[in-house]
């Protein structure tokens, strides 16, 4: 309904519109389609890799490292080097000391059959050992050296062969570090590494080291009665270090021809104290040829 009012000749129009008469706006009956969601994309994130070549090496062989140590022997290197420098002239004297580690720890070493050079070397070593606290008592004569080895477990372990392990650690570490730096590669170095596979078989090795992605092992033996080279072949094969990634240092092996025969039979490197660094370098060099 429309109402109009006039005032004077011309009046403004007032228009009232009934809302009921107003047509409703047309609403689209078309079905609303929700926007399509993007399909999820699976992004493969590469697994984190172990930076340790030694850890990866054993992991790939399904072998677990149960323990390992970092070489720390600075406090005792003075005596270690004194013994090493006395060999092979003092080897028989060390053998007598090793035997005294059992029983009452007493020993007597005759000097009558020793050469003048051997006598001087052995007496000097005995004096150094006395100064370092190896003996409970000692009597130095021109014809013999007698006394009592200390009952300390550390002293007995040291005389029994730990001294040789400590010596080999420092020499091997120096060779490995120098070789790796020359190649521009990283290196790792551990001692007394123990490992176990899924079937429960366990082995241990005195030295384990790597240069780049190549892994090596070394075992250290002393004693004039050692000859079980097959024992270390078994360990080296289990650790996948044969051929040519394993070295055995035998302090009493002096015959080069014999060493070559042993290496041929068991497919690992073998050396004595005098040839250890050279043989270790040969093993590393061959691995990178």
The answer to whether residue 39 is domain-embedded is: no
Q: Are residues 197 and 272 in the same domain?
A: yes
> What CATH number is attached to the domain comprising 61?
3.40.1350.10
- CA–CA separation, 98 and 93 (whole Å): 9
The answer to whether residue 145 is domain-embedded is: yes
- Domain closes at, from 154, 189, 220: 154
pTM for this entry: 0.77
As for how many domains the chain has, the answer is: 2
**Looking at beta carbons, which pairs linking 204-210 to residues 24 or more positions away fall under 8 Å?**
204/235, 205/235, 205/239, 206/165, 206/168, 207/168, 207/169, 207/172, 208/54, 208/68, 209/54, 209/172, 209/173, 209/176, 210/53, 210/54, 210/57
Whether residue 252 has pLDDT greater than 90: no
The answer to whether residue 41 is domain-embedded is: no
Question: Per-residue pLDDT tens for 100-155?
Answer: 998 899 999 999 999 999 999 999 999 999 999 999 999 999 999 999 999 999 99
Strands (E), 28-151: 63-69, 106-110, 135-140, 144-149
Whether residue 6 has pLDDT greater than 60: no
Question: Per-residue pLDDT tens for 240-251?
Answer: 999 999 999 998
Least confident of 23-37, 101-115, 179-193: 23-37
Q: Are residues 110 and 150 in the same domain?
A: yes
Q: What's the pLDDT at 24? A: 53
Q: Which domain holds residue 255?
A: 53-73+163-287
Q: Are residues 68 and 167 in the same domain?
A: yes
Q: Are residues 197 and 148 in the same domain?
A: no
Q: What's the pLDDT at 71? A: 86
Q: Are residues 105 and 212 in the same domain?
A: no
């Amino acid at each position: 309904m429309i109402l109009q009012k006039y005032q004077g000749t011309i009046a403004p129009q007032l228009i009232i519109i009934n809302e009921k008469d107003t047509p409703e706006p047309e609403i689209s009956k078309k079905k609303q389609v929700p926007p399509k969601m993007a399909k999820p994309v699976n992004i493969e994130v590469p697994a984190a890799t172990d930076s340790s070549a030694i850890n990866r090496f054993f992991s790939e062989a399904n072998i677990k490292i149960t323990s390992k140590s970092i070489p720390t022997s600075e406090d005792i290197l003075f005596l270690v080097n004194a013994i090493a420098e006395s060999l092979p002239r003092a080897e028989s004297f060390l053998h007598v000391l090793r035997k005294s580690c059992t029983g009452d720890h007493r020993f007597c070493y005759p000097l009558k059959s020793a050469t003048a050079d051997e006598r001087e070397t052995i007496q000097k070593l005995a004096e150094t050992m006395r100064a370092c606290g190896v003996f409970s008592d000692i009597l130095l004569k021109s014809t013999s050296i007698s006394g009592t080895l200390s009952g300390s477990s550390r002293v007995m372990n040291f005389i029994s062969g730990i001294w040789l392990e400590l010596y080999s650690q420092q020499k091997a570490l120096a060779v490995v570090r120098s070789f790796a730096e020359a190649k521009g590669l990283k290196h790792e170095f551990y001692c007394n590494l123990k490992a176990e596979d899924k079937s429960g078989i366990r082995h241990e090795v005195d030295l384990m080291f790597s240069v780049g992605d190549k892994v090596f092992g070394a075992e250290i033996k002393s004693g004039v009665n050692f000859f079980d080279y097959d024992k270390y072949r078994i360990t080296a094969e289990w650790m996948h270090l044969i051929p040519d990634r394993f070295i055995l240092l035998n302090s009493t092996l002096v015959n080069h021809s014999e060493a070559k025969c042993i290496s041929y039979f068991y497919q690992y490197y073998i050396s004595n104290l005098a040839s250890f660094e050279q043989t270790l370098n040969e093993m590393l060099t061959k691995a990178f040829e």
